[in-house]
């Protein structure tokens, strides 16, 4: 069994790309391709499907990837343990986050303290971020409203409050105090998709007080919500940690029950003592 071939396959399986796998292993793309091809030819098996847009695992490839991820993951943990007393001069950290607003200041702190560390950041929704962490595609993750579970270490990052996002000339935009959630009853609104954390929290808070907004547009990003509000298509809902200065819109914190979201940083419990993960967790202390 050729370990170089297995490591090349594992890198492609993790990254979903021969190019990114080559960057991960610090070798050329043709070398990665050659190793994987040799592995498939030697064992007369198809592990990957190459399409015009991406690389996909076959059923056999998925089974092998589960083995190699665990195998090389343990090797990486052994290396990290052996190097625990060395200064953090180099290294690579895989970070996942369900939004850019909290993670970017932490990455800036990490760069200031450990300028030699390379970071790969994955941004996605809450479900994608948690999945990346649990599947070990991420070393650490910034998460919102995740439930505790066995094997998962969570550390609080604080709370955020939902805010109504209004066009600057909207009748409700003028007051400086919090906006009662009742004021949104029957209002035309533009909201995130139903499975987003922001949308879920807002829907639950509305149900508590029997507020029924008129949702006429659903969007898949917070940036799209801002643009829709600026275009006067309706009132949006955003988290207080997502607010950015935009003269076209006004944000008013909502007053009522169930309008807070909990933010956390997490890692797998068994990897919590790894030095680089500890360094990142320490930024949130």
pLDDT digits (tens, 9 = 90+) for 222-274: 889 999 999 999 999 999 988 878 899 999 999 989 999 999 999 999 999 88
What is the predicted pLDDT for the residue at 234? 94
Classify domain 159-260 by CATH number: 3.40.190.290
**146 pLDDT above the threshold of 50:** yes
Share of the chain above pLDDT 90, in %: 67
- Same fold: 1-73 with 159-260: no
At residue 89, the pLDDT reads: 67
pLDDT for 285: 66
Domain ranges of the chain: 1-73, 159-260
The model scores a pTM over 0.75: no
Q: E strands of the chain, at which residues?
A: 48-50, 55-57, 91-97, 117-123, 140-144, 152-167, 179-180, 188-192, 214-219, 236-239, 249-255, 260-268
Which residues are 250's β-sheet partners?
A: 166
Fold of 1-73: Arc Repressor Mutant, subunit A (1.10.10)
């Amino acid at each position: 069994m050729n370990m170089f071939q297995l490591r090349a396959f594992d890198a492609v399986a993790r990254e979903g790309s021969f190019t990114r796998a080559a960057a991960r292993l610090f070798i050329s793309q043709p070398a990665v391709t050659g190793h994987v091809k040799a592995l498939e030819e030697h064992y007369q098996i198809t592990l990957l499907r190459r399409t015009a847009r991406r690389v996909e695992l076959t059923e056999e490839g998925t089974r092998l990837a589960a083995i190699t991820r665990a195998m090389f993951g343990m090797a990486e943990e052994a290396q990290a343990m052996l190097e625990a007393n060395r200064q953090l001069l180099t290294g690579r950290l895989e970070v996942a986050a369900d939004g850019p607003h909290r993670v970017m200041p932490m990455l800036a702190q990490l760069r200031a303290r450990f300028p030699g560390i390379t970071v790969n950041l994955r941004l996605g929704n809450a479900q994608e971020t948690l999945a990346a962490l649990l599947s070990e595609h991420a070393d650490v993750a910034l998460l919102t409203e995740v439930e505790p579970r066995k094997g998962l270490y969570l550390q609080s990052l604080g709370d955020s409050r939902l805010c109504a996002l209004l066009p600057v000339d909207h009748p409700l935009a003028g007051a400086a105090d919090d906006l009662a959630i009742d004021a949104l009853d029957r209002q035309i609104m533009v909201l995130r998709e139903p499975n987003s954390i922001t949308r879920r929290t807002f829907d639950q808070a509305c149900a508590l007080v029997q507020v029924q907004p008129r949702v006429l547009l659903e969007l898949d990003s917070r940036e799209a919500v801002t643009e829709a509000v600026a275009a006067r298509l309706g009132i949006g809902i955003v988290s207080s940690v997502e607010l950015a200065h935009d003269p076209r819109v006004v944000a008013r914190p909502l007053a009522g029950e169930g309008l807070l979201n909990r933010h956390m940083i997490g890692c797998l419990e068994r990897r919590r003592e790894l030095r680089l993960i500890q360094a990142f967790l320490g930024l949130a202390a």
